[in-house]
Amino acid sequence: MANPVKNMQRTIAEYKQMSAKDQKRFLTDLVLNNALYILMAIFVIYTAVKQENFLTLGSFANLITQVAAYLPLALGIAGCIVLTGTDLSAGRAVGLTAAIAGVFLQKSDFANKMFQNLPEVSTGWIIVTLFAVVAIGAVIGLVNGFFVAKFSLHPFIVTLSTQLITYGIILWFFALNGNNGQPISGLSREYKDFVGGAMFRLGGVAVPRYVLYAVILTALMWFIWNKTTFGKNMFAVGSNAEAAKVSGVNVFMTTVLVHTLAGAMYGYAGFIEGVRAGSVAASTGLNAECDAIAACVIGGVSFVGGTGKISGIILGVFVLRIIFVALTMLGVDSSSLYIIKGAIILCACALDMRKYLVKK
């Protein structure tokens, strides 16, 4: 494990010892287990040949910017999937927090400013807003986690309910102060810079600050998942809640905290979403959870529960974004995009399940 070169040498040595039949099986397994990587490689090469702009620095900057935008939501929802659950409220939570962040950080001289007596936008106020929306997201997650853990309700039901409730709150919020459902616009320059300001340029394309934030969040989540008791408990509960309980894990607390952490991530995602779109509408965040869940399962965070890696989630988000960027550049119509996306999710999950089926 520690030394990949030695590992490879050992594998090759083992391979040479095998009978012809075993060798064939070994190769088939190797191809199938890595089918996703192989297909992606073929796909990337094909696109690069067809579209010379695909493999440029500018295109890469565009890709990582998109990955950074979709990653936080996937990192949050992954915890729910590890617990064999799901979270349908993620998209609406992003919509609500994006709206609140937008209203807090509107330009002070903007004609349609929803709340006139908010403080002038400063770095301090931006950070207060960030914590506020992360807290609001966390509250939504807390409600999810509480009902899942307390009443043993399936997360599908609980989060479907909170999805609807959150959307109701969004609509109500957009109608406040004579706003009448208008999109929240006029976001302040400071807020836009804080989130989307260019750190540096790659091939002439600006790389926004939220790419850095995504890296920090990923490191944080990796630490939580792998190095804390809470992370280990999460996997224990996900593998077998009964066994975890018997071994002294507080299943109730773990479930509540996983959902709360997920909610906090949605809050952060909402914080950057408004800047990304330039304005916030009532429909912001609609169906965002679908892409996040898809990224997780492609990356091997299994609905079987108790398995998943941060690196897998990153891979999943990358796969989805590469497909999007490549097909958009190739000018493929969106109907094929959906079909290919669906096919890839199906294949990835089938190949993933294959590992479990073989074990049995």
Partner 1 sequence: MKKRLLAAGLAGAMALSLTACGAKEETAATTAAPAATEAAKEAATEAAPAADDAKVVVFWYDESDVYLGSVRDAMNKEFEALGITPDNQFAANNQSTQIDQINTAIAGGADILVVNQVTSGASDTAEDIIAAAGDIPVLFFNRAIGTDGSDVAVLEANSTIAFIGTDAPAAGHMQGKMIGDYAVANFDAIDLNKDGSISYAMFKGDEANVEAIYRTQYGLEDANAVLEAAGKPALVYFDAANTDCYQVDQGGAWSAAAAKEYMDTNFVSYNEANGNMIELIICNNDGMAEGAIASLQEKGYNTGDGHVVPVFGVDATDNAKALIAEGAMTGTIKQDAQGMAAAVAQSAKAIVDGTAPAEALAGLKDERFSLDAECASKLYVAYAPYTGE
The H or E element containing residue 207 is strand 205-208
Residue whose CB is less far from partner 1, 84 or 182: 182
Q: Which of 135, 160, 277, 304 lies at the binding interface for partner 1 (CB under 8 A)?
A: 277
Q: Which of 279, 303, 306, 309 lies at the binding interface for partner 1 (CB under 8 A)?
A: 279
Q: How far is CA 251 from the centre of its chain?
A: 24
Which of these segments, 44-52, 144-152, 215-223, 305-313, binds partner 1 (CB under 8 A)? 44-52
Closest CA to 313 of 21, 1, 75: 75
Helix (H, G, I), strand (E, B) or coil at 72: helix
Residues of span 16-35 touching partner 1 by CB under 8 A: 28, 32, 35
Q: Does 276 bind partner 1 (CB under 8 A)?
A: yes
Residues of span 296-325 touching partner 1 by CB under 8 A: 324-325
Q: Does 109 bind partner 1 (CB under 8 A)?
A: no
Place of tokens 């659950």: 85
Tell me the HSE value of 95 on the side-chain side, using a 13 A CA sphere.
28
Closest CA to 199 of 64, 97, 326: 64
The H or E element containing residue 42 is helix 35-50
Q: Does 332 bind partner 1 (CB under 8 A)?
A: yes
Q: Does 171 bind partner 1 (CB under 8 A)?
A: yes
Given a contact cutoff of 8 angstroms between Cβ atoms, the answer to whether 266 and 288 are in contact is no
Given a contact cutoff of 8 angstroms between Cβ atoms, the answer to whether 72 and 133 are in contact is no
- The site for partner 1 (CB under 8 A) is made up of 28, 32, 35, 39, 42-43, 46, 50-51, 53-54, 56, 58-59, 61-62, 65-66, 69, 171, 174-175, 180-183, 185-187, 205, 273, 276-279, 281-284, 286-287, 324-325, 327-336, 339-340, 343-344, 346-347, 350-351, 354, 357-358
